[in-house]
């Protein structure tokens, strides 16, 4: 858990950034937590977590630009304590630590122990009436309300509800301000990402050991997820264990086929530790030895990754078609094209990584120190049942890119050794 002071500072930065970008506007920032689905483990909405560290659903934080902050909590704390957990982060004491002035109930008591965006108007009555008083013809609500078809879905749904209660008449989107803040990682965030990467590397080693002729993809998944769960982490996305022809399907995650001698297995996995994600891929030969053809493709992918990692640094772009000569994605494609395989490289070279696996960040802005990205070239030849992807996570620093997962082998002969090493 990060020090609570960091959340206070981030909220202050957010206020400053909003004021700087909208000097003519007055109003209130509103941030909504995510909602809990009855039968799934709750994962907090990443931006809400970034500013509060709170892991409880349906909470709302309002921040007046003059500095007053209120945390609204669902009126079902006693029921939640019976069904799920006693939500200690919703106390006045925690609120004070993160710089909140007042904790208030959202509205009348909830039915059951959970709130939903479509909970009744009365369950949101305190928030709605406070917002009605604050938001008028000369002040606006600053919220995560991007003009895109994806992202912040539940938050936008709740904004619509508030609008229907007459409590959110003028909304100004702040998603690009938040994305810029979250994209640049501080040292504590990098430490947490190192930890997520470390767990993921151990999980890769467990996966390699579980790979053998006759084993099932599901057993490999179980081996690696045992490590992640036992390390007090969670899986950051559905684990991909894709053998044979499945290795050529980019986000295959059925993980139920039998491994056969001669197959390759793509293992694309990530732990999430204290909110922060790793995303690492290795490709293994089931037999413990690559065929000549598999090794040829493997080495082109590895060379591509090495080349891109060697030029990744501030001033380059991750993927930007206006600057193809400085865009890692375009340079990777050109490199693979020269080897004759560009039609078998159907995805981008990488993405920002952080609280989300595909993290927020503007791809039209060049890389800066503090960014964390993946570099993950791949070649997928369905007719030959050869799919190879190699992915590592890189921290962009002053004039370089540091591989967070440097200790995990990836040279072909080392990968073969990893598979040959078996549990006693
Ligand atoms: N590792 C999965 C992805 O980057 O989409
Ligand atoms: Mn990835």
Condensed to tens digits (0 to 9), the pLDDT of residues 29-45 reads 999 999 998 888 899 99
CB count in 10 Å sphere of residue 365: 14
- Burial group, residue 20, by CB count within 10 angstroms (0-12, 13-18, 19+): exposed
- Specify the CATH number for the domain of residue 149: 3.40.350.10
Ligand 1 contact, 268 CB (< 6 A): yes
Q: Do 166 and 217 fall into the same domain?
A: no
- Mutation probe of ligand 1 site: the residue of 358, 378, 390 with most atoms within 8 A of C-beta: 358
Ligand 1 contact, 392 CB (< 6 A): no
Angle, helices 217-230/187-210, rounded to nearest 10 degrees: 140
Of 182, 211, 234, which one is at a domain's C-terminal end? 182
Q: Do 108 and 216 fall into the same domain?
A: no
Of ligand 1's atoms, which has the minimum distance to the CA of residue 347? 5
Per-residue confidence of the chain (424 residues) as pLDDT tens digits? 788 899 999 999 999 999 999 999 999 999 999 999 888 889 999 999 999 999 999 999 999 999 999 999 999 988 989 998 887 888 889 999 999 999 999 999 998 899 998 999 999 999 999 999 988 778 999 999 999 988 999 999 999 999 999 998 899 999 999 999 999 999 999 999 999 999 999 999 999 999 999 999 999 999 999 999 999 999 999 999 999 999 999 999 999 999 999 999 999 999 999 999 999 999 999 999 999 999 999 999 999 999 999 999 999 999 999 999 999 999 999 999 999 999 999 999 999 999 999 999 999 999 999 999 999 999 999 999 999 999 999 999 999 999 999 999 999 999 999 999 875 5
Q: Which domain holds residue 362?
A: 187-423
Q: For the whole model, what pTM was predicted?
A: 0.96
Q: Do 142 and 169 fall into the same domain?
A: yes
Q: Do 236 and 257 fall into the same domain?
A: yes
Phi-psi region of 140 (alpha: psi -120 to 50; beta: other; left: phi over 0): beta
Tell me how far the alpha carbon of residue 17 lies from the centroid of ligand 1, in angstroms.
31
Measured between alpha carbons, how far is 273 from 167 in angstroms, rounded to an integer? 37
Number of domains in the chain: 2
Which tens digits make up the pLDDT trace of 304-318? 999 999 999 999 999
């Amino acid at each position: 858990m990060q020090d609570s002071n960091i959340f206070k500072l981030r909220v202050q930065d957010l206020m400053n950034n909003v004021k700087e970008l909208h000097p003519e506007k007055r109003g209130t920032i509103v941030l909504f937590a995510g909602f809990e689905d009855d039968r799934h483990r709750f994962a907090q909405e990443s931006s809400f977590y970034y500013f509060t560290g709170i892991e409880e659903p349906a909470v709302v934080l309002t921040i007046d630009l003059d500095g007053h902050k209120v945390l609204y909590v669902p009126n079902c704390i006693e029921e939640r304590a019976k069904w799920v957990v006693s939500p200690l982060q919703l106390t006045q004491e925690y609120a004070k630590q993160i710089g909140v002035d007042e904790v208030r109930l959202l509205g009348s008591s909830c039915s059951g122990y959970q709130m939903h965006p479509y909970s009744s108007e009365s369950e949101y009555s305190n928030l709605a009436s406070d917002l009605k008083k604050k938001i008028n013809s000369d002040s606006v609500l600053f919220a995560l309300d991007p003009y895109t078809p994806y992202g912040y879905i539940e938050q936008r749904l709740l904004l619509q509800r508030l609008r229907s209660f007459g409590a959110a008449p003028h909304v100004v989107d702040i998603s690009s301000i938040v994305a810029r803040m979250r994209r640049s990682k501080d040292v504590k965030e990098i430490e947490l990402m190192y930890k997520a990467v470390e767990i993921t590397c151990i999980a890769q080693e467990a996966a390699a050991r579980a790979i053998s002729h006759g084993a099932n993809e599901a057993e490999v998944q179980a081996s690696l997820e045992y490590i992640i769960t036992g390390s007090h982490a969670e899986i950051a996305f559905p684990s991909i264990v894709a053998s044979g022809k499945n290795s050529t399907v980019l986000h295959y995650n059925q993980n139920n086929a039998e491994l056969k001698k001669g197959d390759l297995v793509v293992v694309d996995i990530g732990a999430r530790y204290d909110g922060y994600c790793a995303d690492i891929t290795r490709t293994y030969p089931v037999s413990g030895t690559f065929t000549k053809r598999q090794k040829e493709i493997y080495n082109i992918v590895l060379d591509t990754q090495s080349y891109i990692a060697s030029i990744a640094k501030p001033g380059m772009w991750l993927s930007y078609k206006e600057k193809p000569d400085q865009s890692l994605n375009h340079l990777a494609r050109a490199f693979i094209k020269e080897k004759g395989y560009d039609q078998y490289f159907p995805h981008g070279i990488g993405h920002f990584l952080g609280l989300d696996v595909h993290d927020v960040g503007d791809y039209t802005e060049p890389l800066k120190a503090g960014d964390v990205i993946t570099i993950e070239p791949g070649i997928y030849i369905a007719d030959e049942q050869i799919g190879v992807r190699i992915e590592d996570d890189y921290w962009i620093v002053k004039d370089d890119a540091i591989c967070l997962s440097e200790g995990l082998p990836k040279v072909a002969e080392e990968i073969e050794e990893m598979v040959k090493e078996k549990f006693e």
